[in-house]
């Protein structure tokens, strides 16, 4: 039994290393010169360089990074603002419509062209192509659904006695929601906001279709460089590393809620 | 009697009025979301269906808003070999990715289902592939599949073996995508199964063991049946998500070589945004949305999302 446990632990570490290796390889590449990257046999030891990152930060990549940050943050805040009261209402209503549930979940899971085509056509007429606002709006399509699903289950777990006590003390419904219910659901609010941030930040498809240059986000910028800048692998790796850094950091904060978020609340991980 | 009534009536009236106000308040909480969702999801979906009835081609303005042959796109679909091929590619991709992710996920979860601090910490490591931006996952695998810079190819070379150029070989391109997708998403099924396994009451497994079942039998007849709900939901989610496969295919193979990795979603993207046939692409997309709705309906019913509690 004891030996078994040791074997399982060794296996687990081995598997984890195997799963992590491709990711670490990219990070390693981002600190290498092109000569090191193409060397065969590969150099186990190399002198790491920041040159790839420095070159990136001098280029338009910086603007696309800012675009990503602005669009993602705005969309997250807006969807929380609209979605949180709705989630609260749904958690306190006795009857629920099946059709509404289906609609919310389906709009979260719809294939990307389902929204890309109508939005592309509408944005051409509304002059919203290649604007940050355009991206913020299309990210709401999946973010609001996500907020409603996740926050509803958080609100269902906050005791109703608290808000009822607040009403008896003469607080209005809004005040009870803002100063009693929301503080109790604070961890849920934080986790939900972070997940919205992560999903918007990770988007590639909508940004690819709806932006050209002005509003281009970081994930699209990295890919563009593959096509236009020749095969500058060091810079591509540095760009990829920078794109994933915020998401990795945030994800670690919410790892308890991740499964829940990825399955729109179907499973509590 | 009359005394009680006299006191109770105003109180009941007050309570009724409060309940009414509360209902109104909840309606106001819900209304903005419904209005926004209507404008940003329902209206575009209707627009999509409308466009699918037209021959809209962006390079030819005369094709907009023409409804003389509303079902033409759908008829063309039935005889479009590239579309039919894309369905087959999609079926293969979905079958293998969902199957492998479930198999590997369950396998690893059973292996790691021990109460131990180290394993708990390692779970965070397994989160990494699925939280990475999908496009970064695609870059990582592009590196692994590019012979000049790939550690995988170096390893084979060092062993004196040669590996075909996976993503440009018609026989290997789809398996290469499947491998990358499996790496990205098996952690999700694994973590879902692990979470479910920890809810299995210990007496259940103990009872099976007392009855003389070995650990394989316990797993097959006690553990797996107990978590089959989770397995179904995990499988359905991965299935729905596999219909959306995009960044890996875009970056690794661009649907090729030929059209061996051209899934339906990718074909819709090409028709719309490479060839400008938005009407035709909308028809393809409507088919995909219908499939998604159907699968979502199954999920909603299985998880009891719609049910009143």
A140, B26, B233 from A107: Cα distances, Å = 11, 23, 18
Which has the higher per-residue pLDDT, B257 or B220?
B257
Residue to test with chain A: of B49, B93, B121, B128, most A Cβ within 10 A: B128
**A1, part of any domain:** no
Token digits of residue B275: 């060839």
Closest chain B CA to residue A255: B124
* Cα–Cα distance, A242 to A31 (Å, whole number): 12
Residues in chain A predicted with pLDDT less than 50, given as ranges, are: 268-269
Give the model's confidence band at B184: pLDDT under 50 very low, under 70 low, under 90 confident, else very high.
very high
Domain spans in chain B, listed from the N-terminal domain onward: 2-45, 72-303
Nearest by CB: A82 against B36, B134, B285: B36
Among A26, A89, A244, select the one facing B143 at the smallest CB separation. A26
What class is the B72-303 domain? Answer: mainly alpha
Q: Cβ contacts (< 8 Å) between A92 and chain B: which residues?
A: 26
CA–CA dist A43, B151 (Å, integer): 11
Domain of residue A200: give its range.
58-262
pLDDT for B21-77, tens place per residue? 888 888 999 999 999 999 999 999 999 999 999 999 888 888 888 888 888 899 999
Q: How far is B217 from chain A (nearest CA, A)?
A: 18
Whole-complex ipTM: 0.89
Asked if B292 and A111 come within 8 Å (Cβ–Cβ), the reply is yes
Distance of CA A93 to the CA centre of its chain: 29
pLDDT recorded at residue A97:
67
- The answer to whether the CB atoms of B288 and A113 lie below 8 A apart is yes
User: Between the CA of residue A164 and those of A173, A181, B9, B27, B227, what are the distances in Å?
Assistant: 9, 10, 21, 18, 38
From chain B, the residues in CB contact with A23 under 8 A are 128-129, 132, 140
Residue A172: what pLDDT?
83
pLDDT digits (tens, 9 = 90+) for A100-123: 777 877 777 889 999 999 999 999
Nearest to B289 among A110, A240, A244 (CB): A110
Q: Are A19 and B183 in contact (CB < 8 Å)?
A: yes
Per residue in B88-136, pLDDT (tens digit) is: 999 999 999 999 999 999 998 888 887 778 888 888 888 889 889 999 9
A106–B37: do the CB atoms touch at under 8 Å?
no
Tokens for A96? 């629920």
Instruction: Please write the tens of the pLDDT for every residue from A140-149.
Output: 998 998 898 8
CB–CB contact B192 A23 (8 Å): no
Q: Which of B27, B45, B148 sits opposite A114 (nearest CB)?
A: B45
Please choose, from the candidates A77, A14, A11, A55, the residue with its C-alpha nearest in 3D space to the C-alpha of residue A238: A55
Quote the CA–CA distance of A119 and A115 in Å, as a whole number: 6
Q: Quick check: B268 pLDDT over 70? A: yes
Q: What is the CATH number of the domain that holds A206?
A: 1.10.3720.10
- Residue A116 resides in a domain: yes
Range in A157-161, B75-79, B168-172, B283-287 with the lowest mean pLDDT: A157-161
Contact check, Cβ <8 Å, B33/A116: no
The domain tally of chain A equals 1
Q: Is residue A247 one of the residues assigned to a domain?
A: yes
- Cβ within 8 Å, pair B306-A41: no
Using pLDDT thresholds of 50, 70 and 90, give the confidence band for residue B7. Answer: low
CA dihedral sign of residues B306, B307, B308, B309: negative
User: Would you state the pLDDT for residue B137?
Assistant: 95
DSSP one-letter string for chain B = -HHHHHHHHHHHHHHHHHHHHHHHHHHHHHHHHHHHHIIIIIHHHHHHHHHHTS--BTTBGGGTT--SSTTHHHHHHHH-HHHHHHHHHHHHHHHHHHHHHHHHHHHHHHHH-S--HHHHHHHHHHHHHHHS-HHHHHHHHHHHT-TTT-HHHHHHHHTT-----GGGSTTTHHHHHHHHHHHHHHHHHHHHHHHHHTTS-HHHHHHHHHTT--HHHHIIIIIHHHTHHHHHHHHHHHHHHHTT--HHHHHHTTT-STTTT--HHHHHHHHHHTS--HHHHHHHHHHHHHHHHHHHHHHHHHHTSSS--
A114, B285: Cβ pair inside 8 Å? yes
């Amino acid at each position: 039994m004891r030996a078994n446990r040791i074997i399982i632990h060794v296996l687990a570490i081995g598997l984890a290393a195997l799963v992590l290796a491709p990711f670490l390889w990219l990070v390693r590449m981002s600190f290498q010169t092109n000569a090191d990257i193409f060397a065969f046999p590969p150099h186990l030891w190399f002198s790491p360089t920041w040159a790839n990152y420095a070159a990136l930060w001098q280029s338009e990549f910086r603007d696309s990074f800012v675009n990503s940050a602005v669009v993602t943050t705005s969309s997250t805040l807006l969807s929380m603002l609209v979605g949180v009261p709705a989630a609260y209402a749904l958690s306190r209503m006795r009857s629920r419509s099946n059709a509404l549930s289906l609609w919310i979940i389906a709009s979260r899971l719809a294939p990307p062209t389902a929204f890309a085509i109508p939005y592309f056509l509408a944005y051409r007429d509304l002059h919203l192509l290649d604007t940050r606002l355009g991206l913020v709006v299309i990210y709401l399509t999946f973010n609001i659904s996500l907020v409603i699903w996740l926050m509803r289950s958080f609100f269902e777990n906050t005791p109703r006695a608290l808000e009822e006590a607040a009403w008896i003390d003469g607080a209005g419904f809004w005040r009870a929601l803002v100063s009693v219910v929301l503080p109790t659901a604070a961890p849920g609010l934080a986790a939900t906001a972070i997940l919205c941030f992560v999903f918007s930040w990770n988007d590639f498809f909508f940004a690819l279709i709806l932006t050209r240059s002005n509003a281009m986000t970081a994930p699209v910028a990295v890919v563009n460089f593959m096509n236009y800048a020749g095969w500058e692998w060091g810079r591509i790796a540095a760009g990829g590393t920078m794109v994933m850094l915020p998401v990795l950091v945030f994800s670690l904060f919410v790892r308890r809620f991740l499964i829940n978020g990825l399955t729109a609340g179907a499973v509590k991980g | 009697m009359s005394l009680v009534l006299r006191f109770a009536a105003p109180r009941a009236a007050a309570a009724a009025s409060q309940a009414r106000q509360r209902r109104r308040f909840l309606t106001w909480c819900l209304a903005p979301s419904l209005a926004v969702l209507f404008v940003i999801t329902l209206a575009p979906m209707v627009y999509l269906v409308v466009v699918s009835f037209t021959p809209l081609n962006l390079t030819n303005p005369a094709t907009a808003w023409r409804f003389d042959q509303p079902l033409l796109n759908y008829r063309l679909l039935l005889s479009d070999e590239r579309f039919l091929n894309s369905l087959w590619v999609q079926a293969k991709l979905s079958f293998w990715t969902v199957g492998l992710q479930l198999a590997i996920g369950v396998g690893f979860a059973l292996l790691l289902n021990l109460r131990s601090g180290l394993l708990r910490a390692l779970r965070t490591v397994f989160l990494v592939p699925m939280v990475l931006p999908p496009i970064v996952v695609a870059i990582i695998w592009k590196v692994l599949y590019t012979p000049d810079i790939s550690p995988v190819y170096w390893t084979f070379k060092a062993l004196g073996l040669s590996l075909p150029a996976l993503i440009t070989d018609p026989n290997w391109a789809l398996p290469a995508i499947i491998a990358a997708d499996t790496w990205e998403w098996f952690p999700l099924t694994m973590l879902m199964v692990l979470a479910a396994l920890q809810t299995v009451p210990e007496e259940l497994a103990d009872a099976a063991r007392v009855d003389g079942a070995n650990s394989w039998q316990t797993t097959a007849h006690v553990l797996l049946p107990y978590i089959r709900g989770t397995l179904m939901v995990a499988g359905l989610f991965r299935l729905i998500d596999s219909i959306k496969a995009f960044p890996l295919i875009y970056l690794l193979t661009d649907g090729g070589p030929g059209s061996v990795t051209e899934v339906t979603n990718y074909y819709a993207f090409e028709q719309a945004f490479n060839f400008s046939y938005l009407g035709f692409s909308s028809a393809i997309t409507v088919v995909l949305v219908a499939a998604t709705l159907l699968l979502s309906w199954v999920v909603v019913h299985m998880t009891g999302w719609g049910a009143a509690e």
